[in-house]
Structure 1
Amino acid sequence: MADQEGPVTVSDLPITFQVKYLGQSDARGLWGIKHTRKPVDLMVAAAKALPPGETLPIVKLTITVDGVHLETVQRRDDMEHMAVFFNIESISYGVQDLVYTRVFSMIIVKDNADVKGLNPFECHAFVCESRNAARRLTYSLAAAFQDYSRRVKEMQVSPDLNEKPPSLKKRFAIDLRSPEEIEAELETEA
């Protein structure tokens, strides 16, 4: 399912992608390609500088309505098995990179965001098998955001007294424009 083209709907979730994990780096803002570009450049440069024979870890990335599951499939010798879950509420942005079109990146708002002096934003990046796979991953996260938005609206209309309501000030974004469209807009702003 992950290698098909076209839009993804909530009914298509969960969808699993096998990708190479570029890693994570601090981001300077909540959402926008301007906050993922530099971290992605740094992670790609680090990946290109890996010693001969050393490769990026391969991970299984599963997009669900609740968030993103990340689990190591094949790891480097210097790293432990990784199994991480990013709740949909902690993901503020996702995009297919405009320079490295096989790269998908997302911004996570860290739990310790309230602690002074710590950067609350973290960019995670993944290399997909193709440009279309990166696009499909972006569509999948958009479908999860769409479902989350629907659930928040339902909570506002008829809150369940037993369930903690999600933050109503939550902002998230998914950039569904093609890399060419994003680049054209950035050029007009310059």
Structure 2
Amino acid sequence: MAENEGPVTIDDLPIAFQVKYLGQSDARGLWGIKHTRRPVDLMVAAAKALPPGQILPIVKLLISVDGVFLETVNTNKKEEFEHMSVFFNIESISYGVQDLVYTRVFSMIIVKDAADGKGLNPFECHAFVCESRNAARRLTYSLAAAFQDYSRRVKEMQTSPDGFERPPRLKKKFAIDLRTPEEIEADLETEA
């Protein structure tokens, strides 16, 4: 499933992946590997500490130009998972990356609605274990294509029909890190 590595275009969306859901953890910032590394480490440690026989929920993750939809796939009748059906609008996703330590893991930062936060941390890191390193890479490329389309739509909204620029609206910041885990690690080492 989604094993091809390489660029994904907007025309390829929507694209679905079957992944294991590691869960979610607070992130300390809007975007950057520095804000996904610790949450991913914590979620992987929690997954490794699961009792024998207990498995992570398997979810269908659908990337479209509108955002990311995830839904529990009950493939094992012995395991009872709470049915999960969640949609993250493209505007609420600020960052996505293939992890540099656990290269089969894809993570993304979600910005929670201010009304929902009630003064709490607004950033959540969600992480998924893919069937292979290439699938995690493909998932990253898919989110990049969705971001490209979103960016194009925002630019179109800021230009009036007569061709004059409109005043900028609330600017959305988002990032997708398309570097390989090795490239990310090399950049982090040069910064230290």
Query: Common fold, TM-score beyond 0.5?
Result: yes
Number of the residue aligned with 2:147: 145
Shift of 1:147: 0.1
TM-score w.r.t. the length of structure 1 is 0.92
In the alignment, is residue 12 of structure 1 matched against residue 12 of structure 2? yes
Q: Counterpart of 2:98 in structure 1: which amino acid? A: Q
For 1:85 and 1:167, the matched residues in 2 are separated by 24
Deviations 1:46-87 (A, max 9, x none): 00000000000000000000000000002842x410000000
Contact 2:158 2:169 in 1 (8 A): no
Distance of 1:71 and 1:167 partners within structure 2: 33
Q: Distance in 1 between matches of 2:133 and 2:145?
A: 19
Alpha-carbon separation, structure 2, partners of 1:116 and 1:55? 33
Aligned residues: 183
Kindly, what percent of the aligned residue pairs are identical?
Answer: 87
1:133 deviates by 0.2
Q: How does 1:33-112 map to 2 (within 5 A)?
A: 33-74=33-74, 76-77=79-80, 79-112=81-114
Structure 1 position 2, deviation (Å):
1.5
Detail structure 1 runs of 4+ shifted over 4 Å in the superposition.
Answer: 113-116
CA RMSD of aligned residues (A): 1.7
**Deviation of residue 169 (structure 1)?**
1.3
Aligned to 2:24: 24
Following superposition, the deviation at residue 111 of structure 1 comes to 1.1
d(CA) in 2 for partners of 1:133, 1:33 = 19
Structure 1 gap ranges (5+): 160-165
1:125-140 aligned at under 5 Å gives the runs 125-140=127-142
**Cα distance, 1:114 vs. partner?**
7.7
Q: Distance in 2 between matches of 1:103 and 1:109?
A: 20
What stretches of structure 2 of length at least 5 have no aligned partner?
162-167
The 8 Å contact of residues 95 and 109 in structure 2, kept in 1 or not, is answered as yes
> What CA distance in whole angstroms lies between the structure 1 residues aligned with 2:129 and 2:173?
26
Structure 2 distance, partners of 1:67, 1:9, is 15
